[in-house]
Amino acid sequence: MSSKKSVSQSPPRWIPDLFAWLFKQVEESAQKVIAQDLQEKLAGNREYSSDFEAILKAIWASPDGYAPESIFEFLRGSAPPTPLERKFIVVWAINEASAGMKGWITRDRGAFPPSGIEENWYVEEAMAWYRATGNCAENEDYIVLPAEPPAKLDEDVSDAVTNLKSGASMHDSLNNLRLMFPSEFPKPWKVKIIPGIRTRNSDPVTFPRDHHGNYDLDQLRIAFAPLVQSPSEVRRKNDPIDGVRKLIVDLDPEQERQLVERARSILQHAVDEEAHIVVMPEWVVSNAVLTEVEATIKEIAREPHSIWLVIAGTGLTTEVDSESGIPYAECVVFDGLGKRLWRQRKLHPWVMSQGKQRDAGIEPAVERGLREHFHPGNTVVVAETPIGRCVVLICEDVQQDIPARLILNRLRPRWLFVPILDEPIAVHRWPAERAKELSRNFGATVVVCNSLALLPENSSGKTADFGWMVSRSASGRFMSATVKIPITPEDQSVIRIVQWDSNRAFKRRVVAEPPEGS
């Protein structure tokens, strides 16, 4: 668009609620005008371009996020000829003003009347509310903007993204904005959005900021921690529950004691390796292990350290569903001071095939498959953190298009963490293939962490793949890293570190193990 060259101001660092409010005013119209291809008309029309440039300058110059009165006058005015065209110019200016900004989630509609009431009725009231409260929301209707910077897609991928049924074509046109309203989810699914999380640790200097004030990711180090390094370290069984055999993965007292000690050792070693994020797998973080993770982080936080995000795998909750009496399978996310930031419950149970049951030594094998035993959750949590928008999806949940694909398409998280319980990861198997597909289509960096709890009894070789990380770099290059550990019964706490580079995706891989006996 020609006006990009003539407007030289840098976008502001704050993400004002006025963007949410302005865009909400014109969102329905925006979909119509994009379909009418008014983008090309705007680019080729001098009068439109002049108005667009004036609106864009006004947004960038607005003090403290207050909406400039000139925008309201323009929306109420008579030029360009139609209200639809005026709204489109404002929407496109909001999109352009969002370019280069760090993605945040803002809440919308709390101060505004229901749709259908003429907009002139509430412009002044809405701005008075904004100036008095500093925000535009008191409820749980959300709009997401601006977008996380999307990965550069290859030409053969672009068509596939545009043709998604969930409306990706609109998002491709307004490439700096992402929208998500809870009403878009089919029942029973829900989305819970946590804006503005401030992950903390005891040494903020360890995470530098760039010249825009955003965190510099060039030195980000992710620690993969399998916890369970041998199938003998957990109990795998198919217990009959209400007459139906279910897959149960749990720990006897000695196994749990061992994993509690290992969790402590892993976190201490992650600090030694200056890891920023620690990721643990599915089904091996019991309540005792989770309690130890929390206590160890708090103990570590007495001294300066690097860790500020721990994705603490999953385990069964002490809380049970009020109707079924069955516990949930839940992942808890901690900050670097041991505070619980959010929790994500597993949505879909995995059904283990008869062949996989036999490979894992689970007898008697159930012919029609062995279903995991937990009560499914129905809510996906989307959290804003200093490294960008984050989502945790647990194992089978990334295999299901609803709600996973809808969320990833609408909200475009920068990070997707996936704790799993499965056989060792291989390039051709579903965890790697699904991670690549999600990263390619939605621009997320996908981090998959497994354990060796389901290592087949007839496994050969000295190592097994238990981690997978995949992303597109800023240049558009598709990058991945496979994370391996030795197949050994030795009682040592193994972690592996992948160092992240935002430009080249993976700067280098660091193999890290504590000395024997630690």
Per-residue 3-state assignment (H helix, E strand, C coil) for 280-349: ECCCCCCHHHHHHHHHHHHHHCCCCCCCCEEEEEEEEEEEECCCCCCEEEEEEEEECCCCEEEEEECCCC
Q: Are 126 and 21 in contact (CB under 8 A)?
A: yes
H or E stretch covering 384? strand 379-385
Question: b/e map of 219-238 (b: 16 or more CB within 10 Å)?
Answer: bbbbbbbbbbbbbebbebeb
Output the pTM of the full model. 0.76
Spatial distance between the Cα atoms of 88 and 39, rounded to a whole number of angstroms = 9
Q: Give the per-residue pLDDT at 289.
A: 97
**Other CB atoms within 10 Å distance of the CB of residue 292:** 20
Spatial distance between the Cα atoms of 7 and 67, rounded to a whole number of angstroms = 19
Block residue for tokens 């909750």 = 317
Q: Distance between terminal CA atoms of the chain?
A: 60
Spatial distance between the Cα atoms of 194 and 97, rounded to a whole number of angstroms = 23
Query: Structure tokens of 342?
Result: 């959010």
Q: Is 22 helix (H, G, I), strand (E, B) or coil?
A: helix
Supply angle C-alpha 195, 69, 20, rounded to 5. Answer: 20
What are the distances in angstroms from CA 26 to CA 2, 31, 51, 88? 23, 9, 16, 7
Which distant-in-sequence residues (6+ apart) come within 8 Å of 511 by Cβ?
A: 496, 497
Q: Give the per-residue pLDDT at 65.
A: 52
Q: Is 476 helix (H, G, I), strand (E, B) or coil?
A: coil
Query: Structure tokens of 355?
Result: 């062949």
Return the sign of the alpha-carbon dihedral for residues 501, 503, 505, 510. Answer: negative
Query: Structure tokens of 68?
Result: 């400039």
Which candidate, 295, 377, 296, 264, places its Cα nearest to that of 330?
377
Spatial distance between the Cα atoms of 360 and 106, rounded to a whole number of angstroms = 47
Q: Is 506 helix (H, G, I), strand (E, B) or coil?
A: strand
Please give the radius of gyration of the chain, using alpha carbons only, rounded to the nearest integer: 25
Q: Are 290 and 332 in contact (CB under 8 A)?
A: yes
Which distant-in-sequence residues (6+ apart) come within 8 Å of 73 by Cβ?
A: none
Per-residue pLDDT of the chain (518 residues; tens, 9 = 90+): 333 333 334 333 334 455 655 666 666 565 565 555 555 666 676 677 888 888 888 877 765 555 677 888 888 888 777 887 888 788 788 777 776 555 555 443 332 333 333 333 334 444 454 455 444 433 334 445 555 544 333 333 333 333 333 333 444 566 676 655 555 667 788 888 776 666 665 444 455 555 444 555 666 889 999 999 888 889 888 888 887 889 888 899 999 999 999 999 999 999 999 899 999 999 999 999 999 999 999 999 998 888 989 999 999 999 999 999 999 999 999 999 999 999 999 999 999 988 888 888 888 878 888 999 999 999 999 887 777 789 999 999 999 888 888 778 777 788 999 999 998 877 678 888 888 888 887 778 899 999 989 988 777 777 888 898 888 765 666 778 888 888 765 556 788 998 876 555 444 344 444 334 43
Query: Structure tokens of 295?
Result: 């206590």
Provide the residue ranges of all domains of the chain, joining segments of one domain with +. 3-179, 215-512
Q: Give the per-residue pLDDT at 154.
A: 35
CATH topology of domain 215-512: Nitrilase/N-carbamoyl-D-aminoacid amidohydrolase (3.60.110)
Q: Is 265 helix (H, G, I), strand (E, B) or coil?
A: helix
Beta bridge partners of 392: 417
Q: Is 147 helix (H, G, I), strand (E, B) or coil?
A: coil
